[in-house]
Each structure stands twice: as C-alpha cells, then as structure tokens.
Amino acid sequence: MYKVFVNDKPIILTSSLKKEENFPVFIFKNILVDEIIYRLKGGKLKGVYLFSTNLEEDWQQFCNNFKLITAAGGLVVNSKKEILFIYRGEKWDLPKGRIEVGESIEDTAVREVEEECGIDHLKLHQFLLKTYHIFYQGSEIRLKQTYWYLMYSNYTGKLTPQLEEGITEVVFKNEVEIKEVFKNTYANIILVYEAYKAN
C-alpha cells in the first residue's frame, strides 16, 4: 500500500480490497491522476482508494505524473522521552529538508534537523518510514517523498529556530503536549509518530 496526501486527504494506492475508511474506490487503470488531485484539492473528496492489480508497476506509473522531490528528516527523542517539534506556517511539524547533491539521505536528515533546530549531539538510530505528499510549486505539481529517521539527542542547550526557513519555535514536547500538537499538524507527521510508537 502507498499513501499520498493532498492537503492531508489521502490517495491510497492498494492491491487489497479491504477498506478502513469510507472513501470511494477507483480502478487505478481507469483514472486520470490529475482529475483525482483536482477533486481532492477542491474539497469534493475526503480521500480515495485506487485499486491496483500490479502495485509496484502502478506506483511507478503514478509517480511518473510528477517531478519527484526527495527530502529527509528526523523524529528526535531526548533523555526525558520528549519529542522535538518545530512550528512553521501556523502548524506543528518535524524538522526535514531537501537532499543536496552528493549527500546521503542519512546525512541530509541529520543536517536538516541540526540546521532547523539549532541542536547537536544527534545520534541517528534507525529508519522509520517514507511519507509522500503532493504540493504545487508555481503551476507545477510536485510529489515529495520524505525519509524519516529516529534520532536521539542528549543536547540540553538553547534550541534556535531557523527563522529564514519560516520556523518560529523549536521545542521538545511530552506525550500530553503531543496530543495538543496533533490538533494542528499534518497527517504525515502523525504517521511518523505512529511508526515511532510501533517500534
């Protein structure tokens, strides 16, 4: 199964007939990807299932509709088991950013967390998952795939938001505070947190 978000509304490409949500089901071979995105963006649909008979082949075909942007980021846990969040664009998020030429995915993840949060002493622990979302850059539609890693840090210094990236706050949050975060975050961030809790 692949899950791609358009404004937090999921496109679920799957070879399973089992439905967890009450979204309409379309046969992947019979749809126009642009039309599905338009309907999700316009509020007409809350989410869709795209049924596939060849998941990997259809996923490649789906991705061919977009310019692919690769990014990496981290879910950082401190010694108190709190999680590092950033506040950007009126929403809570996890630090992440685009890969640079010649850089490994893991190096990107660590660099972006350090730059966006003013933190160091990061220990990259394990890969968590990849998330996908669709966004517009000018008139072009992009598909962003983000590689997420679990990281640990014993850093106790001052956290510094990267203001030039639009980040206004960086803070570690405990489980009670995270429940509040989830009232104002992205669907993909909840997926990353759930992957962390599952581990």
Task: Note the pLDDT tens digit of each residue in 111-153.
Answer: 999 999 999 989 999 999 999 999 988 888 999 999 999 999 9
C-alpha span between 164 and 181 (Å, rounded):
23
- pTM, two decimals, is 0.94
Looking at residue 179, what is its pLDDT? 96
Burial environment of residue 37 by CB neighbours within 10 A (0 to 12, 13 to 18, 19 or more): buried
Superfamily of domain 68-198: Nucleoside Triphosphate Pyrophosphohydrolase (3.90.79.10)
C-alpha span between 157 and 11 (Å, rounded):
41
Task: Note the pLDDT tens digit of each residue in 63-121.
Answer: 999 999 999 999 999 999 999 999 999 999 999 999 999 999 999 999 999 999 999 98
DSSP string, 172-195: EE-HHHHHHHTTSB-HHHHHHHHH
- Give me the residue spans of the domains in the chain: 2-63, 68-198
